[in-house]
């Protein structure tokens, strides 16, 4: 069972993956870049909360 943080991180990683598949339309590029930055922020915050050496099964 995932914690709320783990689920959120997994959802953001999936959004990041989907965004990387988008076409290079200018608006989509801006949206993709914004979501990628948001996902990176959440990953960094989640990593800071996990003890060193912990393994997540995402």
* % of the chain at pLDDT higher than 70: 72
Domain definitions of the chain by residue range: 4-48
> Residue 23 pLDDT more than 60?
no
> Residue 57 pLDDT more than 70?
no
Distance CA 4, CA 1 (A): 10
Cα dihedral across residues 46, 1, 4, 7: positive or negative: positive
Distance of CA 29 to CAs 2, 9, 26, 43, Å? Answer: 31, 21, 5, 21
- The pLDDT of residue 56: 58
Least confident of 10-14, 16-20, 27-31, 47-51: 47-51
* % of the chain at pLDDT higher than 90: 0
């Amino acid at each position: 069972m995932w914690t709320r943080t783990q689920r959120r991180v997994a959802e953001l990683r999936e959004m990041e993956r989907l965004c990387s598949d988008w076409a290079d339309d200018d608006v989509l590029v801006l949206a993709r870049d914004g979501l990628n930055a948001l996902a990176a922020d959440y990953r960094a915050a989640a990593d800071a909360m996990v003890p060193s050496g912990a393994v997540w099964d995402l």
